[in-house]
């Protein structure tokens, strides 16, 4: 029988039941080992992809065993284990396994899964040139895919690095802003501390001034002392107060009462004692004239003040009587408003210039006022003691 002859020609180690079934023309179920033995017996030739047929009896020849993983291969087969096949493909062993897994989809006509399993078991496997070609092609595609993945990963790392750099720059910028704000806060705190110190010093000065005012005496710009026993009531009285504050080493008492009379200003000067009466004149032009006899006038018109000369001389006589001191006394009339003022037997001047007029006149005196005489005169006036001894006397 031809079929029997063909089956026997396989030279495959088939089991007796399988051989009997094949001889009877029945369908035979083979194990993997039996199938591998048959395919590797040399009695089959490759047909369409994935299909095998019996080789013609005249051309059948023994062939090197080819594993199921190389099914569908053509050409002479070479035996490889996993290490040698990986070396032939130019990859590591684990990469070889991954390439075989990827080829399952790309070339399903080859049983790559069986080839992988046998290689991983440590067996030597016969692999044809065609299978090797497919494997090398798979390695190339795998390397391309790997390089693409590495490129994508490198790009992702570069993006991540750029993102971190931007975040670092943002963080550094924010830190710089916070430091600038902190520096501003510190500067403001420093400025506030300086301002607090300044205000504290000002407060201390005000307290000192209040203490001085409590005693009545206030240090003047000219290095003297001033005691104001009544608040200024007119613009001229305020100008008089300012002008007398410029006198050097003078003791000025304003609005002092002697008996029933009030003296507008008493100046104790190293050259003598000035008694000053001040008057506000509505006119802003003209000359005030105070003669030794006759009425005072401004541009030959009578003043509203009846007898300013008589008032200041009476004040001088009152002070002389009260003090009982042999000193030089200077009667002074000061006028606020007119353009000029003149007199004969009393010193007549403008209020704004009273300090200069008094200082010039008293400095020209030959007699001098001692510090004891100055303190004695103040005592006669009944004013508080000076905060410290007078200077310049």
Residue range 325-359, pLDDT digits in tens: 889 999 999 998 887 888 888 999 999 999 999 99
Of the three residues 34, 63, 92, the one that is the final residue of a domain is 63
Buried b (16+ CB within 10 A) or exposed e, 161-187: eeeeeeeeeeeeeeeeeeeeeeeeeee
Distances (CA, A) of 180 to 27, 172, 184, 187: 91, 12, 6, 10
**What's the mean pLDDT when you consider all of the chain?**
82
Q: Is residue 230 part of a domain?
A: yes
Does the residue 238 lie in any domain?
A: yes
Report the alpha-carbon distance of residue 346 to residue 344 in Å, rounded. Answer: 6
User: Is 311 inside any structural domain?
Assistant: yes
- Give how many domains the chain has, as a whole number: 2
Structure tokens at 266: 């008493």
Q: Which residues pair with 341 in a beta bridge?
A: 288
Domain that holds residue 29: 1-63
Output the pLDDT for position 281. 85
* Whole-angstrom distance, CA of residue 48 vs CA of residue 310: 154
The rounded percent of the chain whose pLDDT value lies above 90 is 38
Query: Which of 14, 32, 63 is a domain's end point?
Result: 63
Q: For residue 308, is it within any domain?
A: yes
**Does residue 371 belong to any structural domain of this protein?**
yes
The answer to the question of residue 210 being in a domain is no
**Domain end marker among 21, 47, 63:** 63
Which residue has 């080819």 as its token pair?
Answer: 66
Residue 26 within a domain = yes
CA neighbor of 74 nearest in space, from 131, 112, 126, 118: 131
CA distance 112 to 278: 129
**24-68 pLDDT, tens digit each:** 666 666 665 666 666 655 555 555 545 555 555 443 333 333 343
- Given a cut of 50, whether residue 263 has pLDDT beyond it is yes
pLDDT at 141 over 50: yes
Residues 6+ apart with CB under 8 A from 64: 40, 76, 77, 78, 79, 126
């Amino acid at each position: 029988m031809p079929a029997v002859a063909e089956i026997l020609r396989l030279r495959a180690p088939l089991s007796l039941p399988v051989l009997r079934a094949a001889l009877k023309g029945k369908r035979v179920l083979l194990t993997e080992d039996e199938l591998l033995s048959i395919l590797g017996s040399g009695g089959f030739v490759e047909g369409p992809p994935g299909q095998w047929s019996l080789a013609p009896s005249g051309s059948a020849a023994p062939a090197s065993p080819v594993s199921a993983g190389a099914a569908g291969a053509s050409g002479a087969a070479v035996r490889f284990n996993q290490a040698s096949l990986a070396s032939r493909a130019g990859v590591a062993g684990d990469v070889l396994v991954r390439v075989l897994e990827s080829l399952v989809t790309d070339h399903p006509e080859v049983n790559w899964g069986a080839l992988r399993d046998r290689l991983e078991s440590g067996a030597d496997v016969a692999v044809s040139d065609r299978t090797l070609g497919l494997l090398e092609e798979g390695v190339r595609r795998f390397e391309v895919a790997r390089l693409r993945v590495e490129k994508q990963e490198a790009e992702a790392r570069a993006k991540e690095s750029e993102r971190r750099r931007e975040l670092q720059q943002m963080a550094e910028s924010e830190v710089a802003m916070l430091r600038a704000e902190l520096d501003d806060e510190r500067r403001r705190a420093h400025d506030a501390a300086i301002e607090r110190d300044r205000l504290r010093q000002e407060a201390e000065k005000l307290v000192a001034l209040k203490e001085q005012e409590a005693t009545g005496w206030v240090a003047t710009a000219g290095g003297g002392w001033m005691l104001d026993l009544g608040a200024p009531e007119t613009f001229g009285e305020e100008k008089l107060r300012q002008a007398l504050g410029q006198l050097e080493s003078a003791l000025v008492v304003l609005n002092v009462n002697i008996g029933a009379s009030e003296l507008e200003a008493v100046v104790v000067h190293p050259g003598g004692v000035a008694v000053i009466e001040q008057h506000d004149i509505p006119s802003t032009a003209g000359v005030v004239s105070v003669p030794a006899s006759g009425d005072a006038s401004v541009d030959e018109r009578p003043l509203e003040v009846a007898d300013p000369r008589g008032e200041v001389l009476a004040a001088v006589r009152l002070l002389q009587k009260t003090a009982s001191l042999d000193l030089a006394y200077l009667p002074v009339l000061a006028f606020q408003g007119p353009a000029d003022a003149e007199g004969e037997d009393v010193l007549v001047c403008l209020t704004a210039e009273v300090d200069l007029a008094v200082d010039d006149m008293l400095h020209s005196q030959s007699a001098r006022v001692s510090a004891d005489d100055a303190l004695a005169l103040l005592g006669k006036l009944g004013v508080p003691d000076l905060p410290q001894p007078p200077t310049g006397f």
